[in-house]
Structures are given as C-alpha cells and as structure tokens.
Chain A
Amino acid sequence: MNLDTLLSYEWGHMAPEFIILAVAALLSLLDLFLPKSYNRRSLAWIALVGILVAVVSLIGLLDSKSVSILHDTFRLDSFGKAFKLILLIGAACVILLAESYEPKEGLKEYRGEFYYLFLTGLLGAMVMTSSGDLITLFVGLELLSISSYILAGMRKKNPGSNEAAMKYVINGGISTAITLFGMSYLYGLSGTTNLKEMSGAMSAQAANGQFLYLYGLAFFMVLIGLSFKLASAPFHMWAPDVYQGSPTPVTAFLSVVSKTAGFVILLRIILTLFLTMPGDDTQKLSFLETHSIYISCLAGISIIAGNVIALRQRNIKRMFAYSSIAHAGYILVAISALGYFTFDAVWFYLLAYLLMNLGAFAVIQLITDSSHSEDIADFAGLYRRSPLLAAGFAVFILSLAGIPGTAGFIGKLNIFMNALMTDPGHFVLASIMIAGTVISYFYYFGIMTQMFFRPAASTEKIKVPAGIGAVVVLALAGTILFGVAPNTALDFLHNNFGSFNDFLK
C-alpha cells in the first residue's frame, strides 16, 4: 500500500472523530500550559463547542452513502451515523453537567483532565459505532472503558469514588477478559477480524456442527462480556456501587453514553455475525432466532432484578443504577424480539432514555451537590423550593416510568409492539416488561411523593447553574416533544437512515 491509496480514502467521513480527537488533544495541551491559577472550568466550553462542531459535521455527512475505509476498520453507515448522533448529544449534555459539577472537596487541579477524559471516552464510543472490524471495535471499547475507570475515581478524597473506580476496574477487567476470549474464538475459527468476511466464513462453516457449537460459545462470551457495558444481568452488579460512588456527571455518562455504546457494539457484532449464520442443521432459522431465548432470559432477569431491588434503595443514585439495569433489560427485549423495526425501537428508546435520564441526573446533581447527601429525602419539598425544577424532574420520572405523553412511553410502546409483532410473539417477555413497569411505579412515585407531598427540610432557594439549566430545558423539550409527536424523531430516522439496509452490506 502506498501513500496514494491511503490518501484516496474519504477521510472526511471521519471528521467527527478527528474533531473530538483534536479537541481532546487541545484541551490536554491547554491544561498543561495554562497557569495554575487559571480556572479550568472554561475548558468545558471548549469541549462543548468541539462536540457541537462534531455534531454539525456529522449532520453534514448524513446524506452521504455508506463509506468504508481501510477494509472496514472504519465504516460510516447509517447505523453508525444514527447512534453516533445519540452519543454526541449525550456527551454534550454530560459536559454541561460536568461544567457545573462542584463536589464538596472540589476537583482541584484535575478539572482539566475531567473534561478531556470525557472526550476520549466519547471517541472510543464513537469508534465503536462505526467500525466493521473486531480489533477496532475492541480498541474503541477499551478506550471508553479506561477513560471511564479514571473518571469514576476522579474524587480522590472521597472513599466512595475510590471504591467505585476500583470495583469498576476489576469488573471491567473480568468483562474484557470474557469478551476478548469470545472474540479470539471468532477470529481463531474464521481466520479474519473483518466482520463481513467473518460472517461469510461462519455461514460456510456452519454446516459443521462442531464449528456451530464453538461459534455459539463465542456468542455467549461476547454477549456476557458486553453485558458489563450494558449493566444488564448477569453482569449488572457493579452498577449500583459504581453509580453511587462516581461523580454525578460520570454516573450520567456511564448510564447514558457508555450504555448506548454497549448496545451499539453488541448490535454490530451479533447482528452482523449471528443473523446470517444458520442456527442449526436444518438451516431454516438464523442462529440469533434460534437462540433468542437466552437474550430473552437475560432481559427478563435484568428487568425483574433492576426494578425489584430498586424498591429498597434510599440513595437516589443507587436507585437510578437499578433503574438503569431495568432499562437495559427493556432494550434487550427489543433485541431479543428481533423484528423489522428493532433498530427503530432501540434507537428511539436510547434517545428517549438519554433525554430523560440526563435530565433527571441534572436535577440529581444539583440537589445532591447542594445538600451534600444523596438520600431520597433530600428531594422532600422540592416543589416548594423550586416549582419549575420539580415539574421538570417530575416529567423525567414520569417518562422513565413510561407514562403516556412522554418519550419514555413511546419508547416502551415501540419495544412492546416489536415484541408482540414478531412471530412467534414474545408474550412472556412482554408480560415481564409490563410487570416490571408496574413495580417501577412504586419507587418512581416514591420520589414524586417526596417532591410534591412532603414539607421541605430547608426553604433555601435553589440556584440553577447555566449548564444544568440548559440540560434540563433541552431534555424537557425533547422528552415532551418526542412523547407528543414521536414522528418527528422517527421521520428523521427514516428520512436520513432509511431502514438501515446498508448495515450488512
């Protein structure tokens, strides 16, 4: 390969990634050379501008056809674009939260790192959306993970934060080992890391039962390994401890960006590889269709465990950790009931989840920071202290609970319809989903009761910083808009990405 071939690739399609990389590099240099006394809070705005420019450049790329660079180690197809958009929006909100973040003991000189580690994590996540090569996907995954490990431990003086980072690293290590072991099977059997070639090899080899079995093992290892990123059963138990201990913007990052990235890589790998491979000797159904029951079980367990244990939590971040486990379960329902509009359902749900969860975390950050405690009781009487904030938080909670009129309802409805429309319908899973939703009302409405029906502990007015205010307003607008007029989002999806038919090409 010479320089000409290298230059002949359409590198312009990596513009969003390049921008994020450049901004991260710029921030690290600025952080290095700026005087010590300089308040590094303003670096957040540079990061934000960088992300927004990346969004703009991505929107500029929406019309272009699917592009592959260097044997699919980078590929920009509609799937990548659609999910990259979610990641970028999520990261922009997280940066806004991080800008306003002020822990009790302060972030001191680590504020700069705080911001650009978000960007490197984002970069990893973005790479995960648009690659058709196992190595690149794995490097992206690790980049995201390592950035997250450090971010979780950013509050060095806080034992909870240290504990979170420690647990996150160890569990992350286990999950990486499992994922990598599964990937090594895939590579070893097919002889390539390129997903498309691998898929071809797998279909050819599947006639041999032993190969089929080994690919099955690889499937489960990849699935379980990645369930760490999703925080779904059985790899969900780290989530409560880590969510609770991490700085709040990091918790938001983990629950939104990192989870989205997890779903993206999961979809990319298992759909490309296992949707084309026959599931048994008869070759009628694909591997994924024959074995969707396993994903269903994991989804069901996640939903039940997440919702039921959340009932007993008094710490708001911990409760949201369990709720995020349950939400991962809901999305897995859509993947398990693989149908014509699985992509739409997952994409919409992730978008809705991003909006409502980030909005909720914005409020949580504000309240927990001002009261220096994370007990649910701190939300008592929020309505009297700040009616608008309470109303906003109520909308996010209603959306998380799936009450009509909010984006969360439409998301759940999509998944639900998806589960029932497939043949055969996933009735049991749909019922578990409903039961889980009903259970979730108890704890979601517990918070509501606190906010509206309890006298406030302090009557002190709450000052809303600009960053948090912006996130709340944006999330609120989105949650209601997509709840009332969901077609705005779905039309956007269809007009720009069609039905993702370039996914496998």
Chain B
Amino acid sequence: MMENAWIIPLFPLISFLLLLLLGKRLKESSAYIGIAFTLFSLLFSLLVLWERFTSPTYKIGTEWLKIGDLSITAGMEVNQLNALMLVIVSLVSFLVHMYSKGYMQGEERFSVFYAYLGLFTFAMLGLVLSPNLLQLYVFWELVGLGSFLLIGFYFYKEEAKQAAKKAFIMTRIGDVGLFIGMILLFWETGSFEYDAIFKAAAEGSISEGMITLTAIFIFIGAMGKSGQFPLHTWLPDAMEGPTPVSALIHAATMVAAGVYLVAAMFPLFSESSTALLIVAATGAFTAIFAASIGLVQTDIKRVLAYSTVSQLGYMMLALGTAGYVAGVFHLMTHAFFKALLFLAAGSVIHAVHTQNIEEMGGLWKKLKITGPLFLIGTLAISGVPLFSGFFSKDEILVSAWNHGNYILFFLALIAAFFTAFYMFRLFFLVFTGNQKKEAQNVHESPASMTIPMLILGFLAVVSGYVNTPWFGTFLGDWLTKGNHYLEHGHEDSPVWIMLAATLVSLAGITLAYMIYSKRSISRDWLGGEGSMMYNILYNKYYADEFYNLSIVRLTGIISVFFSYIDRFIVEGLVNGVTGTVQKLGKIGSRMQTGQVQQYGTIAFFGLAVLLIIFALTGGIFE
C-alpha cells in the first residue's frame, strides 16, 4: 500500500476537478462527491499508517527539473511523521466535508465550497507526502492559495475579502523566509532532499552559523503559516471564513503545517542550539501572548483563533526544547480537540446566528449534543486529566523542564492557566446562564453535523492514550524508531509537573466558574442540585474578591497591553511597510506625466549617468 500512497492526494484533486466542471449541475449533491473522495483518501491513509507500523520508510523519486548539471527530483516519502499526518489531515478533512453538508446548506455556491475544500485537501496531503523542500514549497503555496479562496468565500463581506488578502500576504512574508532558507540549504548541500540535508548537517559539512541561519529562515516560513508572533495577525482575521473552514484549515491542518515543517526539519534544527532556542522562545511567547489576548475576546471564533495561536506556540515550544515527540503528539491531539471545538462552535453559530458570546447563554439545555461535546473539547484543551490534551500538554511541560529552560517552563504553565480560564469563560458564557432573547428558536444541528463532532469528541478523549507515562509511550517509540537523528530517551517526567499542570488548569477553570457562572448560580439549571455548590462558593467569596482584585486585574492589564502591541506595533509595522511601498508607487506614477519628451529625457539621462559612472570608475582616467 505504501508504494501507492501517491494516490491519496489525487482523490481530493479529482473531486476538485469534477466539481469545477459539474458543480453547477450537481448543486447540493456535490457534497456526496466531496465526501466520497475524501473517504477514499482517509481509508488509504489508514492503510498506509497501518502498514507503516511494520514496514520501513518508503521513498520514491524521479527527476523533475534539470538546471544545468543540477537535477531536482520529485517523489514521495512515507515515514512515521507523514503517515500520521496523512491520517490526521484526511480524517479531519473527511469530517469537515461531512459537517459542511449540514452547515453550508442553502448556500448558493455550495459546490464551489466543496471544490475549494478538495483543492485545499489535495494541497495539504501533497505537502505532507513531499520528500524534499522544493516540492513541499510548491504545495505550501498551494495550501496558502486554497486558504485564500476559502477565507474569502463570503466575498460579499468586506471583512472577509480583506481577511483573505491579509492572510495570503502575511503568510507570503513567511514563505519568502522559507524560500530563502531553502535556497541557502540548496546552495550549501546541492540538494533539496531532506535526507541529503540532514546528512550534510550531521556530518558538519555546513558551518554552524549557516545551519542556524537557514534554520531561522525556515522557521520564519513556519511562523507565517502557524501564526507565530509577530506573523500571527492574519489568523484571527481568517475567522471570517465559513466555520468548517476554520476547523479544517485554521485549527487542524494548514496552521499545523508550520509545526510539521519544523518537525520534519527537526534534525537540522537540532544541530543548532541557537535556532532551537529561538523556536522555543517564540513558541512560549506566542503561547502566553495569544492566550492573554484570548481572555478578552467576545467573538466565539476569535477566542478559538487566539487559542489556536497559543496552542501552536506550545507545539513550537515543545520542538524548540527538543521535545520532538511532545510537539507531534500535541499536534495530533490538538487537531482533534480544536477541530471539535470549531465544529461545535459552528453548531452553536448555526443555532443562534450570532458569534458574539455576550449574546449567547443557557444553550446547554437546547443543544443536547453540541453542549457536552463542546465541554469535552474545552476539558481537553484545558488539560484536565484523562483527556487527550492533558497528556500532550504534560509532555510539553516535561520537555521544557528537562531542557532546563525554566523561564519558558513557567511561561507555558501560566499560559496553561490562561487557556483553562478563557476556554471555560467561553463555555460558561455560551452554555450556562440566562437565555438571551436572540436565542429563542434554537435547535440542535442535523445529524450530518453532529456525527463528525461525535467522532472528534471520541478522539479528543482517547487520542491521548497512545502516549502516556502510565500505559507506555507507543507514539513516541514508534515515531523515533529507526530514525537516528532523533533520540527519544525515556526521560523521567517528574510527577509534580503533572500535578502542577492539573492544578493550574483547575485553578483556571474555577476562576472562570466563579466569575462567569456564579452570578447565575441561584437561577436556572444549577438551581436545584447546586445549592451545596452555591454554599461552597459563597464561602469562598473573599477569595474571589482577592482574585478579582489581583489576578484578574493583572491579567486584564497584560491582556490590554498585548492587544495594544498587536494593534499598534505589529499592525503598524505592516502598515508602515505597505505605506512606504504605496508612496513609492505614487511618486513613480507621478513621474509618468504622459509627456513623451520626458520619457526621452529620462532615458537619455540614464545613459549619461551610466557613461559618467563608467568613465569615472573603469574608464580612461586611470
């Protein structure tokens, strides 16, 4: 099966082409084409993964481009990492295809949406299978293009249009970094192949400084795609796209591509401690930065977007502290629970037709399936024990601790606290409390939407058990087996870290509970059974006040501060650059007066300048 893995990306491509041609005629039955083809991809991916458990890495390539004596190959590679990614991508894509059938119902350009989804899935699967940097770059750009089209899907909204453009251009800035890094590596090693690059790096035929430089450039590419500070601003804006798109692209797959890239290039990064430190520091900072912004957002999808940025920061932190397994592990669990959260959020939006969490409330009773599923997702992301996020986050914290960088470790811990807090704030505001008047005719979403959520909910709980300190680290062993560039020592993971993580997340949850839910504690759904809880909480009133005064105020200030950085410095910088370019353009077009004499003058003057410079430098006067 593995030698036929190239067929996996072809299914969504066929779906894309079919829908492009037949879409108008098929209307809403386009969904079945999309769903069927992604199902094929999923099945093949599962087969490949299954086979990869027992077989060694498979690699194939043919010459693709010949420039002079240089030959660049194209092909595919199935190793542990991309076998796993194949499954994640095709699974989430399949579920999103299914979910969209219900969510996008009644949309005029239904088939177009499915066509775009196919294009994106094709690109993402192709990216994952690429055995060399150039091919990866090709698909990397295609992925960006798919994202551009999908974010701007609601083109009649000005924000969506702007967001699409911003996303494309911001990630392009990162892509340029990737491109430069790639070319530099090629220059040094004469090859784009991962293996050749790693070999050269390990043998020391690339100088230390060069490794660091190229690693940083590649990391810039990853920052763009994975929304790491300061290239993160496009991701929250990208929420203007349809919600299933947010689940697929901006939670589970495309944004994870940056993490995937760093993971795939990990042997290169591990040769340079400076590069690793930069990755880790950026990751940790992004994690806490985005989490604190998430505290004050009122748009349900924006909260999730910032939480995505923050979680991606976690993954980068893991990779940067040499926690290869931790990073990939969190990538996987995050894909499941974040996709679940987005889909559930979509279900909520579908029901109440607003994205503002201030206008929601009391939906727990109405949305009998969505509510508990959302809760599962929230518990998972908050790192509550026994849920998947708990294990992967613990792994990251252990990795940060063992690496000896305690500042980063504590940053991550604080970020975990924030995460638990704002996620539960979201949960309480949406699902508990009073029903607002906007939410009268609320009903649960159709089965096509709930089934994908159920599957993801299941995975959000159990996917953590593939790599636990209790039952064994299957994932870690498998991921690093036979790959001599990575070592997966069974490092001792101090038990107290696990306890601390649990405590921190519980503290966050409690705080959120007291602030956002307690106010309504005597009413509605907690009314009967909650009297005991009410008393406990009542007695803790002063603690609440204390929190309110100190921590909440403090986090509030931090949050506002970071929002300012985001708005004025990062955006300002971007606007400054674009403004300069625009101004240059203005000057340039002003010179274009339309007077033909002037054109001649400028040409002649140019000639004279060249001649004078030539005369003075290389000419007669020596």
Contacts and interface: CB of A to CB of B under 8 A. Distances in A.
A241 B594 CA distance: 7
A174 B603 contact: yes
B588 A171 contact: no
Interface residues of A, number: 74
Interface in B571-622: 578, 581-582, 584-586, 588-589, 591-592, 594, 596, 598-600, 602-607, 610-611, 613-615, 618-620, 622
Given A237-B602, A308-B585, A216 B596 contact: no
A9 interface: no
Given A174-B600, A241-B594, A311 B581 contact: yes
A445 B169 contact: yes
B596 A167 contact: yes
Given A308-B588, A438-B173, A280 B618 contact: yes
B585 A312 contact: yes
A244 to B, nearest CB: 10
What is the interface of chain A mostly: helix, strand, loop, or mixed?
A: helix
A327 B286 CA distance: 39
Nearest to A348: B67
A237 B597 CA distance: 11
Contacts of A216: 614, 618-619
A139 B236 CA distance: 61
B536 interface: no
A40 to B, nearest CB: 32
A356 to B, nearest CB: 16
Given A224-B610, A344-B68, A405 B141 contact: yes
A8 interface: no
Interface stretch (B176-184, B315-323, B329-337, B358-366): B176-184
Contact of B66 (A305, A308, A487): A487
Most chain A beta-carbon contacts within 10 A, residue among B67, B180, B578, B619: B67
Interface string A455-478: 100000000000000000000000
A413 B607 CA distance: 30
Interface in A177-228: 178, 209-210, 213, 216-217, 220-221, 224, 227-228
Contact of B599 (A238, A291, A294, A420): A238
A325 to B, nearest CB: 11
A438 B176 contact: yes
A434 interface: yes
A280 B618 CA distance: 8
B152 A209 contact: no
Contacts of B140: 404
Nearest to B175: A438
B577 to A, nearest CB: 10
A303 B207 CA distance: 33
**Contact size range, B:** 35 or more
B495 interface: no
A275 interface: no
A49 to B, nearest CB: 32
Interface stretch (A250-258, A261-269, A446-454): A446-454
A340 interface: yes
Nearest to B594: A241
A449 B610 contact: no
A485 interface: yes
Contact of A439 (B149, B581, B614, B622): B581
A418 to B, nearest CB: 8
Contacts of B68: 340-341, 344, 421
B607 A220 contact: yes
A479 interface: no
A361 to B, nearest CB: 21
B334 to A, nearest CB: 28
A167 B599 contact: yes
Nearest to A220: B610
B443 interface: no
What is the interface of chain B mostly: helix, strand, loop, or mixed?
A: helix
A308 B585 CA distance: 5
Given A171-B603, A312-B586, A391-B20, A237 B592 contact: yes
B161 A449 contact: yes
Contact of A237 (B149, B603, B619): B603
A344 to B, nearest CB: 7
B610 A175 contact: no
A190 to B, nearest CB: 19
B596 A213 contact: no
B63 interface: yes
B618 A290 contact: yes
Nearest to A454: B155
Interface string A367-396: 000000000000000000001000100000
A503 interface: no
Contact of B141 (A175, A403, A438): A403
A386 B145 CA distance: 20
B70 interface: yes
A341 B72 CA distance: 15
A166 B596 contact: yes
B584 A453 contact: no
A225 to B, nearest CB: 8
Contacts of A420: 183, 187
Nearest to A483: B138
A456 to B, nearest CB: 11
A309 interface: yes
Interface string A423-446: 001000000001000110110010
A67 B173 CA distance: 50
B172 interface: yes
B156 A405 contact: no
A403 B145 contact: yes
Contacts of A238: 596, 599
A409 to B, nearest CB: 8
Nearest to B24: A387
A171 B588 CA distance: 19
A305 B588 contact: yes
Interface string A94-114: 000000000000000000000
Contacts of B400: none
A416 interface: yes
Interface string A252-293: 000000000000000000000000000110000000001100
Contacts of A490: 65-67
A416 B596 CA distance: 34
B32 interface: no
Contacts of B622: 209
A244 B378 CA distance: 58
Given A175-B603, A234-B605, A438-B173, 5 more contacts: A209-B622, A312-B589, A405-B142, A417-B70, A490-B66
11 contacts: A174-B603, A237-B592, A308-B588, A310-B585, A312-B582, A414-B67, A417-B186, A441-B172, A445-B168, A486-B65, A487-B66
Sorted nearest first, the 8 A-B pairs with minimum C-beta distance are A234-B606, A453-B155, A404-B138, A309-B588, A237-B599, A341-B68, A235-B603, A311-B585
Interface of A: 166-167, 170-171, 174-175, 178, 209-210, 213, 216-217, 220-221, 224, 227-228, 233-235, 237-238, 240-241, 279-280, 290-291, 294, 304-305, 308-313, 340-341, 344-345, 387, 391, 398, 403-405, 409-410, 413-414, 416-418, 420-421, 425, 434, 438-439, 441-442, 445, 449, 452-455, 485-487, 490-491, 494
Interface of B: 20, 24, 63-70, 137-142, 145, 148-149, 152, 155-156, 160-161, 164-165, 168-169, 172-173, 176, 179-180, 183, 186-187, 578, 581-582, 584-586, 588-589, 591-592, 594, 596, 598-600, 602-607, 610-611, 613-615, 618-620, 622
